[in-house]
Structure 1
Amino acid sequence: MNRIGLIVGLVAALVGSWLLWQWGFCRFYVVPGFMAVVTAKSGEILPPGQILAKPGQRGIQEQVLGEGRHFLNPWQYDYKIMPVIAIPPGKVGVVTSKVGADLPPGEFLAEAGQKGIWRGVLGPGKHRLNPFGYQIDIVDAISIPVGYVGVVTSLSGKQTTPDAFAGPGEKGVRRDVLQPGLYYVNPKELQVDLLEIGVNQVSLLGKTGGEVITKGKMASQNVAMENLQKRALAEQMEKRMDYVAQQRVQESVSDKPQLESSMMRGTARAKQAAAAAPNQQSPQPSPAKPQLPPDASHVLSLNQFVEFPSRDGFEISLDMTVEFEFLPEQIAWIYQSYGDLPAVVDKIIMPQILSVSRLKGSAYRAKDFIVGEGREKFQNDLTEALAKAIEEKHIIVHDALIRHVNVSDQILDPIQQASIAIEQDLTNKEKQNTARKQAELNTELGLVEQRRQQVAQETEKLKAEILADQEKQVAQLRAEALRQTAEIDQQTALIRADKTRKLGQAQANTVALVEGEKAKGFELKAAAFGDPAAFTLWEFANNLNKDLRVSILHAGAGTLWTDLEKATLGELGGAAVLNNKK
């Protein structure tokens, strides 16, 4: 018995020691929002090139421990508490894996289990990836504002054939575009360029150059989304300025006029300010994007202008505005064929404007550009020819508006003086016509006043005649009403008299009939009795009061009338006779 108790006590001591060891020395807790990176102190040595250890291997373990309570032997394992990867809304995490199999030749995007940049991205939320084996770069998601579409260019896969859209697994521009919204895509896999849909303008200001005015972005109701869209548009402008910079380099070689951004210096300052601000949202901060002024994405300057000789040899320059629009269903083809908006303006819009303006303008004289009718005809011809020339590029030209025509003073002054003289002559003639018309008007006004007075007199006369006629008609109507009233009263009296006569006659007839019937009744009753006297007695008896009582008294000897005062009731009549018999 003592031996069993000793064994039980020993087991209890061992269990208690083990619990004390686990709870007091092996236990640790990972708070929410953090993870534990575990390092094994014992096990197999890692092969060359392997960074993270599998279970049973020595080194930093690939799997991390999430929030909660954990137990690890401090002699065998060490751990380090680190924050989890937190990706805020509107961001994506681009994962670069340092572990896994090497990529095949020519590939730069990795699948699960491969080393390199993952094709998939991490969406908003918290993720537990070992920071010693994976690098997370947090970048903006693709936000497409209202009024824009996103043209998608695949950066991986087999290169597609020229002038063909990229299909699945191919590299190149895709046919389908992204509509306004928020997209979580890998910027290493897909490049998304924002292009305006709707009406844009090319505004030329004579020899001072011009500008490309794009449509403005519609404001978002969400502040975070608004900031995200601003950064997307800033990135769009940065790409366009890169194109402008390349064109300026070519301009210095070929002396060809090119686009020049009006926001170049402002954007450079924005880049410096953005680069100085640290990014606090990512363990691996991505380069900050420049913050452009609010209208930076809406205006690009041009150093080109429209100038051509007229038919009579004078130099003409135009201030004009061309409104054009990209067809939404063809915007991917336009981007694939020509590039972004500055490239389209540089390669398509401006060459056609310059060519068509020279071609059409050289057929007009300098005077035609000054006189209104000729200028309007030239504007209509220019709009029609420009729209027809650019239509095959899937670009719609809505209007080509001529705001001002710059003509040499050598021809402008004589034409203006001649036009002024003509206008002055027309003005004088119009003044004479006005004076004549004024005299005619005064005459007509006098006639109108005379006629007005005549009409007023005739009106008063008609009013008096109408009033007299109305009074006459009223008197006639009143007399007629009195006559009809008298006739009605007479007829009423006759009707009442006839009524009284008929009522009296009816009452008399009623009495005669009733009394006659009563007499007939008496006659029949008398005939029934056989003797009128008997009927009379019956009638007399029938009409007596029902409460009447008749007592017959026999007077006996003597005279009833003489002894009546002395006799009592018992002494009269039959009572006296009865008494005598006794």
Structure 2
Amino acid sequence: MTKKISSIVVLVLVVVGAWLAWQWLFCRFYVAPNQMAVITAKTGSPLPPGQILARPGQKGIQEEVLGEGRHFLNPFFYEHSIVPVLVIPAGKIGIVTSKVGEELPDGEFLAEPGQKGIWRKVLGPGKYRMNPIGYRIDVSDAISIPIGYDGVITSLAGGQTPEGEFAGAGQKGVRRDVLQPGLYYINPREFSVAVLEIGVNQVSLLGKWGTEVITKGQIATQNRAMNELQRSLLMEQQEKRADYLQAARTAAAPAAKKTGEAAPPPAKPLSTEESISTFVLNQFVEFPSRDGFEISLDMTVEFELLPQHIAWIYKSYGDLPAAVDKIIMPQILSVSRLKGSAYGARDFIVGEGREKFQNDLTEALAKTLLERKIIAHSALIRHVNVPMQILEPIQQASIAQEQDLTNREKQNTARKLAELNTETSLIEQRREQVAQETMKLKAEVVADQEKQVAEIKGETLKLVAQIDKETAAVQAERATRLGRADAERIRRVEGEKARGFQLRIAAFGDSDSYNLWTLADRLNDRVKVNILHAGPGTLWTDLERARLGDLGGAALIEQQSGKGKSGP
């Protein structure tokens, strides 16, 4: 029994080892970073008609792909191919075209996820694992609106918008809302974005050479990728405008050929190093004056497009060249001819007529363009082209008038020079007179100052002597009083000392007692008196019977006290 169990265990281990070896050696494959594996199933149910990607359990290319890492698939049932993942860099979008899914309804050309066709939603920057058999992804630029521009959105999908209105959600046409400067991930199949300059632009009329429109160019930013996106968008804008201008020149060519006029120069292309962009229109201002002369103008009109009106202008007229060609230039031509025909040719050369015409033109143009949501700031006339038959006499008359004025000014200058010389002589004479009077006044002032100094000095000496006298008297009085006070002090001090001695002597009775007390008081406290007995027959023998109080000053005081008591 034990041998049978051991055999089973060994068999199981062999089978497991063989299975692990099979998986590791034959079924294992590795997907590197930034790659994916497309799997093809060799077995399973066949695909229905029209289906190109298989789901689990179906035979064919599987819809799901495998990401990076280690995977195990039986090579008898599956095949795999390694392909790179889709990487969409910054500033780009991915437009997905799905080859799988449900068919789109009639009239629709943008699909949602799960439908076949171009997806409405775009892929932003990032990495995506989408089966390349079922999905085609086209990488395109995102929309980067430069500073100084607005993006006008035109919806390409949806129902038809009523005429004269802005498109709403789900409608085709120009939308009211515009894109401010920034980066936008917009599907170009769903929306078309036209960038238009906002702010102040210029229209320069160059006589019969046509009209040059000066607009702002690209304002560079710190982001190089953003600059490239904006440059690409502006170049696309320039190409569209060039097509429009070429069509306009082609349409105007027969008229120019008929009149024998030179064709206008081509539009100036946008340069990334320039801060302005220009394009040329084949229009110019020319009108008859009141007296029948042909007048042409070189002028500059500054106009402004506001962000809140830019969508309406684009919907009504088109891009900036079309707006200038259809709105601004016709109004400039109309107002110039209407106002200019009321002035004579001479008014455009001399006097205040030219300035008045310029003011009238600016006012009328501003009022007319404001009705079309365009603000005209100024209309500056740089040059007026007048026929020579009237210009030359006026110039000669002006030259003669200026010469006459010059001669008059020369005469006035000579007269003023003579008057100046006379005034200069008078000034020099007056200067000498003032100098002499100044010296006289200076001498008088110095003498008066010296006199005042001497008087002040005498008064000062007199006051000093008086003060010295008073000081000496005060000092003498002080010395006398101090001497008297000092003598009185000494007398009183010494008198009090003597009185003190008298009181002390009186206290002791006589002067001898006081002297003895004084002697005893001044003896050192450490003085010792030793009495030695020398034997009989001497002075010291009597001392044996004597008391200490019977000796010296004590005996004397006692005797005197006894005499006092026995007195009368």
- Where on the TM-score scale, by shorter chain, does this alignment land: which range? 0.7 to 0.9
Return the offset for 1:168.
Answer: 2.3
2:523 to 535, 543, 546: 546
CA distance in 1, matches of 2:319, 2:252: 19
Distance 1:441 1:197, change over 3 A: same
Return the offset for 1:342.
Answer: 0.5
Return the offset for 1:372.
Answer: 4.8
Distance 1:222 1:296, change over 3 A: closer
Is 2:125 the counterpart of 1:124?
yes
> Residue 7 of structure 2 corresponds to which residue in structure 1?
6
Return the offset for 1:293.
Answer: 6.4
CA distance in 1, matches of 2:251, 2:190: 30
Give SS of 1:94's match: strand
Is 2:108 the counterpart of 1:142?
no
Is 2:359 the counterpart of 1:380?
yes
Q: Aligned AA for 1:320?
A: M
CA distance in 1, matches of 2:530, 2:23: 148
Distance 1:480 1:42, change over 3 A: farther
Distance 1:523 1:207, change over 3 A: same
> Residue 109 of structure 2 corresponds to which residue in structure 1?
108
Is 2:537 the counterpart of 1:575?
no
Is 2:196 the counterpart of 1:195?
yes
Distance 1:549 1:9, change over 3 A: closer
Return the offset for 1:292.
Answer: 6.1
Q: Deviations over 1:384-437 (max 9, x none)?
A: 111111111121111111111110001000111111111111111111111111
> Residue 554 of structure 2 corresponds to which residue in structure 1?
none
Give SS of 1:398's match: strand
Superposition pairs of residues 24-35 of structure 1, within 5 angstroms: 24-35=25-36
> Residue 71 of structure 1 corresponds to which residue in structure 2?
72
Q: Is the 8 A contact 2:102 2:115 kept in 1?
A: yes
Q: Aligned AA for 1:541?
A: L
CA distance in 2, matches of 1:56, 1:578: 161
Return the offset for 1:374.
Answer: 1.7
> Residue 275 of structure 1 corresponds to which residue in structure 2?
none
% same residue: 65
Q: Is the 8 A contact 1:89 1:124 kept in 2?
A: yes
Superposition pairs of residues 296-445 of structure 1, within 5 angstroms: 298-445=277-424
Task: Provide the TM-score with structure 1 as the length reference.
Answer: 0.86
Q: Is the 8 A contact 2:157 2:172 kept in 1?
A: yes
Give SS of 1:305's match: coil
Distance 1:552 1:146, change over 3 A: closer
1:468 to 440, 447, 471: 447
CA distance in 2, matches of 1:125, 1:549: 126
Q: Aligned AA for 1:464?
A: A
Unaligned runs of 5+ in 2: 546-568
Superposition pairs of residues 172-251 of structure 1, within 5 angstroms: 172-248=173-249, 250-251=251-252
What's the RMSD between the two structures over aligned residues?
Answer: 2.8
Unaligned runs of 5+ in 1: 268-290, 555-567
Give SS of 1:543's match: helix
Return the offset for 1:295.
Answer: 5.0
Task: Provide the TM-score with structure 2 as the length reference.
Answer: 0.88
Q: Is the 8 A contact 1:63 1:130 kept in 2?
A: yes
CA distance in 2, matches of 1:335, 1:479: 105
Return the offset for 1:513.
Answer: 2.9
Distance 1:17 1:519, change over 3 A: same
Distance 1:540 1:59, change over 3 A: same
Q: Is the 8 A contact 2:217 2:275 kept in 1?
A: no
Return the offset for 1:353.
Answer: 0.5
Distance 1:77 1:482, change over 3 A: farther
How many residue pairs were aligned?
536
Give SS of 2:122's match: strand
Distance 1:488 1:346, change over 3 A: same
Give SS of 1:194's match: strand
CA distance in 2, matches of 1:418, 1:146: 53
> Residue 536 of structure 1 corresponds to which residue in structure 2?
511
> Residue 288 of structure 1 corresponds to which residue in structure 2?
none
CA distance in 2, matches of 1:570, 1:69: 150
Q: Deviations over 1:494-552 (max 9, x none)?
A: 444344333333333332332333344345445545xxxx2312321122241599999
Q: Aligned AA for 1:206?
A: G
> Residue 60 of structure 2 corresponds to which residue in structure 1?
59
Distance 1:489 1:50, change over 3 A: farther
Q: Is the 8 A contact 1:262 1:300 kept in 2?
A: no
